[in-house]
Amino acid sequence: MLALPLGWSSCDQDTRTHDLPYEDEFEPVYPVPAVETLLTPANGTAITSGGDAVVFSWEEGELPEGSQMVVKYEVLFGPEGQDFTQMDEESNSVQPSDMEGGDPQLTLYGSFLDLIAEEAGIEPGATGTILWKVRGYCGLDQTLSTATGSIQVTRPAATTE
């Protein structure tokens, strides 16, 4: 029972601030800043699923000066035409960034990329485009990145035994 309130407290936007003149003042509520710049991999990068780890990275959105807000991140993956506003957090296609959502990067291992490619409809032995976006969140507030990245993923052919 205690875990739930503690989980929200790290991003509580009505946190008392110690540097304000009155003890009963609270930090203003700010919207979660959108990620505007995706850094790696570059758009169109060819990747073979099941291979080496791939690092997805971005520049964090700007917080207002003095804000104590803690923003966490998730990377959302999908095929062309995907509605990223309706992504299910339980899907393999939604992954928290490194450091349990705290880093502006996600290290994705090849075998997991294969699961994401499969969910995107890429058949074994085929190549397809996967789009990615970053969702920043703080408590119940969230913002989807303004930028969208794309990678070309080739799945290894299925083996028969």
- 41-50, 83-92, 122-131: segment of lowest average pLDDT: 83-92
Mean pLDDT value across residues 23-35 = 74
Please give the pLDDT value at position 20.
53
Q: How confident is the model over 133-147, as pLDDT tens digits?
A: 999 998 888 899 999
Q: Cβ-count burial of 5 within 10 angstroms (0-12 exposed, 13-18 middle, 19+ buried)? A: exposed
pLDDT above 90 as % of the chain: 52
Identity at 76, one-letter amino acid code: L
Q: Which two tokens mark 32?
A: 């979660």
CB 107 within 8 A of CB 97: no
With 0-12 CB in 10 A as exposed, 13-18 as middle and 19+ as buried, what is 113? buried
Q: Is pLDDT at 79 greater than 70 in this prediction?
A: yes
Which single residue is written with the structure tokens 């008392």? 16
User: Is the pLDDT assigned to residue 42 strictly greater than 90?
Assistant: yes
**Mean pLDDT over residues 48-71, rounded?**
88
